[in-house]
Structure 1
C-alpha cells in the first residue's frame, strides 16, 4: 500500500519534481568544476554563475544546431512524404501479390495504425511541452543546490545518530565522487557516438545522417533500450523513404556500434563507477517511463546508483545493494580480454 502511495505521489508531483530531479543531477555533474574554482579563490556566487552560464551557453548552442538540422528536415517533408507514399504503394503491391490481402484492407490497417501513432506523438509532444515550460527552473535549482551544498551536508549529518555519522559521511563522499564521474562518462560516450553514428549513416547513404546520428546518440543515454529506440527511428525512416538495402545497412551498423559501445567505450570511459545488473536496469527504466515518461527514463539510473551507494553502506540494506549490483555472476560473464586495459589483466 505504501509503495502505491509513493508512486501516486510521484505521478501527482511530476511537474514539481522533474525539474528538481534534473537540477540535482546537473549539480552533481558541475560540482567538481565548482569545487576547483573555489579552491582557486573564486567566490561561490561567482563560481556558480560562471559554470551555470557556461553550461547554458553550451546547451543553447547544441539546441540551436539541432534546430537547424530539424528545420532542414521539416523543409523537405513534402518530398519525404511523397517518397514514403511511393514506397508504401510498392510494399502494398508486393503483399497483395504474395499474400492476397487487398490494398484497400491494407490502407485501412495503415490508417488505423497511423491514427494511434498520431495520438501517441500528440501525447508525447504535450508532455515534452510541459517539460520545456519547467526547464527555466533547472538553472535556478542548480545554482541554489550548489550554493547551499554545505548546508545540505550538515542537514544529512544532523539526521543520523552520532554513532552513524561516519556512515553518512562515507555515503556523501562516495555519491559526490561516483555520480559526477559516471555522468561525465555518459556524456563523453554520447558525444563519441554522435560522431560514429553520423559518420556511419553518411557512409551508407542515409539522408539527414547528422540529425539521426545525434538523435541515436542522445537516446543512448537511456541504457539498453535507448540505442534500440534511436536506431529504430532511423531504421523506420530509411525503410519508409529509401531502399531496403540501406535499411539493412542501418541494422548492420546498429550491431557494430552496440559492440563498440558495450565492449570498448563504456567499460573504458564510465568504467566501474556504477555496476547495476541489467534486470534491475531494464525494470527501472520501464518503471521510470511509466511514472515520469521520457524524463524518468533519463534520470532513473543515476538515482538508482545513489540508492545502491546508500544500500552498500548500511548494514541492514546490504542485501538490497548486492541485489542491485552485478557481483555474484562473474563466472557466467563473457569477457573480451582483447579489449581489456593492461591494468585489468
Structure 2
C-alpha cells in the first residue's frame, strides 16, 4: 500500500514533525526568543512606521525612530517602577515585624484552642517555610534571570525590530515567491491576502493588549492610591502587565497586592477593599475593555488559550506565556484562510461552526 494512503504512516509523519518543531523551539530558545520579541515589537510598530513613511521619511530612519522612541518610553516606565520597588524594599523590616506579630498571635490561638504546644508549632512551621522559601527563591531567581537576560539582549532585540521593519516588504515577497513556486501563481493573490490580514490582525491585537495594560496601569495606580496602599505605582503597573497573561495573570497579580495589604495594614478593611476593587476591575476588563479593544482581533477559546500558556511556559518560560497566545492567534488566521486547515481554525476558535 502506498505510504500516503496509509493513515498510520501519515500520523507518524505528523507526530515526528510536531516533535521536531518543539525540539527546535526548546533547544534554540536563546536564539529564537529575541527574534520573537523583536518580531512582536515590529508588528506593533508597523502602523506607526507606515505613517512616518507617508510623510516622506526614509524607511530606515522611520524604523529607527519608532523603535528608539518605544525603547525610551519603556525605559522611562521601568525606571519609575524600579524606584517604587526600591521604596518597597525599605518597608521589608516593618513587614517582617508585622509577620512575626501575626505568627505569634496565631501560635497563641492554636495553643489555646487545640492544646498544641508552641514549640511543636514553630518546628512544623519552620520546616514548611524552609520548603516554601526554596520554591520562592527559585521563582524569584527565574524572574530575575529572565529580566537580566532581557536586558543583555535588549540591543539585539532593538536591532531585530529595526531590521524587520526595514525588510518587511522583502520578507513578504519571499513568502509569496515560495507560494508561487510550490502552489502555483494562481495562489499568490490568496497568499498575499493571508499575509496582509495576518500582519494587520497581529499588529492590532498587540496594540490592543498594550493599550489595555496602559489603561489599567493608570486606573490601578489611581485606585490603589485612593484606597491608601503604599507604592501604588509599582503595584498598579505590575498587576496591569501581569494581566497580559490571559486568565491567570489578573488573579496572580491582584493576589500579591491583597496579601501585601493584609500584612501591612492594621485592619482587614483595606485588603477587603483592595480585593473588591480588583474584582470590579476584572469584570470591567472581561466584559468591557478587552472585548471592545482586543476581543474581535483574535478569537481563541479558553481551552486552547490555557494550553498555549502552559506549553509556552514549558518551552520558553515567562516569554512563552506571553508570546505563544499571539502565535496561536496568527496560526488561527492562517487556518481560517486555507481550506484544508479550516477544521483546525474552528477547533481553536471561540465561535461554534455553523452548518
TM-score (norm 2): 0.87
Per-residue deviation, 1:99: 4.4
Contact 1:73 1:208 (C-alpha < 8 Å) held by counterparts: yes
Question: 2:266 matched to 1:266?
Answer: no
Contact 1:93 1:103 (C-alpha < 8 Å) held by counterparts: no
Cα 1:176–1:14 change in 2 (3 A) is same
Tell me the distance in 1 between the aligned counterparts of 2:155 and 2:210.
22
- Name the structure 2 match of 1:4: 19
Matches within 5 A, 1:64-103: 64-101=79-116, 102-103=120-121
Contact 1:92 1:106 (C-alpha < 8 Å) held by counterparts: no
Residues 188-215 of structure 1 show CA distances to partners (whole Å, capped at 9, x for unaligned) of 1111111222222223332222211110
Tell me the distance in 1 between the aligned counterparts of 2:352 and 2:203.
26
Tell me the distance in 2 between the aligned counterparts of 1:269 and 1:214.
19
Question: 2:150 matched to 1:131?
Answer: yes
Per-residue deviation, 1:100: 4.8
Residues 253-310 of structure 1 show CA distances to partners (whole Å, capped at 9, x for unaligned) of 2211111111111122224011111111111111111111111111112111110111
Contact 1:88 1:240 (C-alpha < 8 Å) held by counterparts: no
- Name the structure 1 match of 2:245: 222
- Unmatched runs of 5 consecutive residues or more in structure 1: 331-345
Give the RMSD, CA atoms, in angstroms. Answer: 1.9
Tell me the distance in 2 between the aligned counterparts of 1:149 and 1:249.
49
Tell me the distance in 2 between the aligned counterparts of 1:96 and 1:130.
48
Tell me the distance in 1 between the aligned counterparts of 2:144 and 2:82.
16
Contact 2:26 2:316 (C-alpha < 8 Å) held by counterparts: yes
Q: 275, 294, 305: which is aligned to 1:251?
A: 275
Tell me the distance in 1 between the aligned counterparts of 2:107 and 2:251.
26
How many residues in Structure 1 have an aligned counterpart in Structure 2?
330
Per-residue deviation, 1:175: 1.5
Tell me the distance in 2 between the aligned counterparts of 1:48 and 1:264.
33
Cα 1:54–1:96 change in 2 (3 A) is same
Cα 1:294–1:96 change in 2 (3 A) is farther
Tell me the distance in 1 between the aligned counterparts of 2:258 and 2:113.
24
Cα 1:329–1:110 change in 2 (3 A) is farther
